[in-house]
Chain A
């Protein structure tokens, strides 16, 4: 049952990420993955908050559903590196490099912020 819920919430996370990407492209046509970076940052922030709040939780299933499922689906490692690689091949060197460097730093910062907010 937990496995099913984790998968369903993972699917939900992916859908939220897609809606963010679609919303950005619809109003601001671009091949640059702003929304993917935002989704990764948001997912990392939620994960930081949930990881702190739910650590040692009596119900480990909730932790798995939120962290492994929803946050795992909302964030993506594959597109975070595949898209910059494609952009680099299209000669957007500086932008590609900036993405590779700033995305993990932004995600780490949001994860720490999430933990700090949970600690308040």
Chain B
């Protein structure tokens, strides 16, 4: 995990390209999945805060944390942070796939309907991240 590397210009461009490629695909996949969740439904009437819970983003974040932890502890263990594969997969793809800011945008919508609900979802999101990371480590425990 440690690194003290100054990349050559060509290597730096490769690193940026690798990160951008992973980020492009990760963001695209996240957007498509979240759009799928927001397809118009026949329900109508007033919106309640539980309906605003971003289940898809929570699920994406959970899976992202789990797989990123597993990869960093397994196949990508010891890879330098500037390694192109790590940049493509961890920094780019999973970085683009998962989102912290998107979570807060959704929490703000819940906050306007129920402050307690927003705090509860926020705490749940953090705990789900901890659980996903713990599960990601399990396979590699001795």
* Chain A interface residues toward B at CB < 8 A: 3, 6-15, 17-19, 21-22, 25-26, 29-31, 40, 43-44, 46-48, 51, 64, 67-69, 71-86, 89, 100, 103-104, 107-108, 111, 115
Contacts and interface: CB of A to CB of B under 8 A. Distances in A.
B102 A29 contact: no
A67 B19 contact: no
Contacts of B24: 7-8, 10-11
Given A48-B104, A86-B1, A89-B137, A78 B95 contact: yes
A100 B27 contact: no
Judged by DSSP, the binding face of B is helix
A115 B109 CA distance: 13
Interface in B36-71: 61, 64-65, 67-69
Number of chain B interface residues as a range: 35 or more
Given A69-B27, A73-B95, 12 more contacts: A10-B27, A10-B96, A18-B15, A18-B87, A25-B81, A29-B3, A44-B101, A67-B101, A78-B98, A81-B69, A85-B134, A107-B100
Contacts of B4: 25, 29
A113 B24 CA distance: 28
A79 B91 contact: yes
Nearest to B119: A108
A17 B95 contact: yes
B95 A85 contact: no
Interface of B: 1-7, 12, 15-16, 19-28, 30-32, 34, 61, 64-65, 67-69, 72-73, 81-82, 87, 90-92, 94-105, 108, 122, 125-126, 129-130, 132-134, 136-137
